[in-house]
Structure 1
């Protein structure tokens, strides 16, 4: 009699082993993930409080030796609380899903329940990854939104900041695009508030990038761009530096399921827009991670695990297996005054 695989063996399918299985799936989706812009900060609670300081740097007067020193004024501070989004996602494997199915290469023969479960976990992991990318793009836009575009957190409102918008007016041939770029860089430098940066980057919608590199004041610079690649021969949408700003075409998008059953493609950077932000900062961007909604993980820091998997649950009468995953990320820009939106009015 052949040996029967017990898929509910807790040694093989404990919460830890399943989470490890999911995290072995590399997060290949997301430019912001590749940039390592957000530092990871695990917390033990489901919300975080940010202390917003409005310190002002003043010139200090000279004093005669032995005389009284000048006194510092107390900083104006405000505490703002942010709820960390909770993103649960469930799926299942039914007996009918596996029955008579052929295993995928390189395996041979019929599909196994274990193989189907692993494939489901990979798909679920990637859904969490694209969701995280959407939240991170929201952080560099200053408005973190839910899957359907509903705003969750408006950082500009929270910090009492008027968003900076620069009109590049690409439709006018005489526009000095270099001057517009220097306006962006100067604004970001003035608002770092004690932090440092190594450069400025712009994630551009395809239409913004195309209008940028074809504008009269940029065209020659793009043509002779100093790079290991030749722009006359190669595609430089993945990084064109002009006026010390790295412009990159960004095509990140996701499919949204509408209530009527139809689907629409939602671009993370709206058409015609570009989003500018500093690179190499130390305190401006952070990704907070809350513990999962599991009784064994209450009030514990989650470490650096992006996705958690609950132990598998057997359905009634053994008809299938229920799978539960969740992530609890909050990417934040703690200095939204360094974020700039670019667009063209003509």
Structure 2
């Protein structure tokens, strides 16, 4: 009896196309499109810094001329792109007797089982990518267990900036604190431009900010206080910064819940930049993907020993990157 998974519809190319078509329903940073995807052909990227301006060095075919750097002091930094594999299995019980359902063919029915598995796996990759991207906005990219993968501030030899909003004191000039954040970001753009500043806040920071006497007064003066009866957690602009409550969290392999933003903290960053943010995707470690441009996700399947099911393998090789970590400002409520 022919194994249905040998059909070309379940090849690496077909499954990879299928998992990339599944929409990413998780991630505020995905919705903001702050760190757009940039596929690369290698497992490493090299970032060049020249006079404060950072440029990614493109790959070239063997024998072709290299890019010409500008004269002056330059620094090259190399970053290894993380490899994130995830496996699952389609058991015989899941596909047994599927031909009897309605008018579906066997391949259509098995394709539905495969699609359900791919969607679950895709969602796990999505929340993992959100975690990595949030780390890039904080300047410290962490693994699932909380260990450090890359400290961008150390890599770029930059001292991280923190602004204490002192929200516990009723007399604090919150607008002046916002101006200080804007000034720090603008000073570190290094020739880049922006069209605004966004700030993702922990629930504790957001509550302290909106409950501050100076901020509440501003709400009353805006549309006669109509904003006070609405849900402003989606974001409001005050002092030139759009503040938004962010509740991103996930559990690790041990069942521990990890919040993406610590209690009482917030993180501000510029919007509308050209090349300050990116998410680099490396190719999978398959024979078929050697020297190809990386995709956000890959999927592949093979039969188990004695044909006792089908192993399903997915992987992603992402590296969210901020090329100018100086524009990443941490805010604290204390």
TM-score (norm 2): 0.88
Of residues 13, 21, 36 in structure 2, which corresponds to 1:16?
13
Matches within 5 A, 1:283-298: 283-298=275-290
Hey, what's the Cα distance between the residues in 1 that align with 2:52 and 2:125?
38
Change (3 A) 1:5 1:119: farther
Change (3 A) 1:118 1:39: closer
Deviations 1:45-102 (A, max 9, x none): 100011122359xxxxxxxxxxxxxxxx95321111000011111110112455589x
Q: Secondary structure at the match of 1:181?
A: helix
Deviations 1:284-338 (A, max 9, x none): 1111111111111112212xx311112x211122210100011111110000000
Of residues 251, 257, 265 in structure 1, which corresponds to 2:257?
265
Counterpart position of 2:270: 278
Of residues 76, 83, 96 in structure 2, which corresponds to 1:86?
83
Counterpart position of 2:125: 128
Change (3 A) 1:326 1:179: same
Of residues 299, 303, 310 in structure 2, which corresponds to 1:321?
310
Hey, what's the Cα distance between the residues in 2 that align with 1:6 and 1:143?
46
Counterpart position of 1:145: 142
The alignment of Structure 1 onto Structure 2 pairs a total of residues equal to: 314
> Do the aligned partners of 1:94 and 1:321 also contact (CA within 8 Å) in 2?
yes
Hey, what's the Cα distance between the residues in 2 that align with 1:237 and 1:172?
22
Structure 2 residue runs without a partner (length 5+): 54-69
Counterpart position of 1:238: 234
Counterpart position of 2:330: 341
Hey, what's the Cα distance between the residues in 2 that align with 1:277 and 1:11?
45
Hey, what's the Cα distance between the residues in 1 that align with 2:95 and 2:4?
14
Indicate the structure with greater helix content. 2
TM-score (norm 1): 0.85
Structure 1 residue runs without a partner (length 5+): 57-72
Counterpart position of 1:63: none
Of residues 171, 175, 192 in structure 2, which corresponds to 1:174?
171
> Do the aligned partners of 2:199 and 2:268 also contact (CA within 8 Å) in 1?
yes
Deviations 1:256-283 (A, max 9, x none): 232xxxx222111111110000000001
Hey, what's the Cα distance between the residues in 2 that align with 1:5 and 1:223?
71
Counterpart position of 2:252: 256
Hey, what's the Cα distance between the residues in 2 that align with 1:309 and 1:322?
11
Counterpart position of 1:95: 92
CA RMSD, 1 decimal: 2.6
Hey, what's the Cα distance between the residues in 2 that align with 1:254 and 1:272?
18
> Do the aligned partners of 1:142 and 1:155 also contact (CA within 8 Å) in 2?
yes
Counterpart position of 1:66: none
Q: Which has the larger radius of gyration?
A: 1
Counterpart position of 1:307: 297
Q: Which runs of 4+ in 1 moved over 6 A?
A: none
Hey, what's the Cα distance between the residues in 2 that align with 1:223 and 1:124?
46
Hey, what's the Cα distance between the residues in 2 that align with 1:49 and 1:15?
29
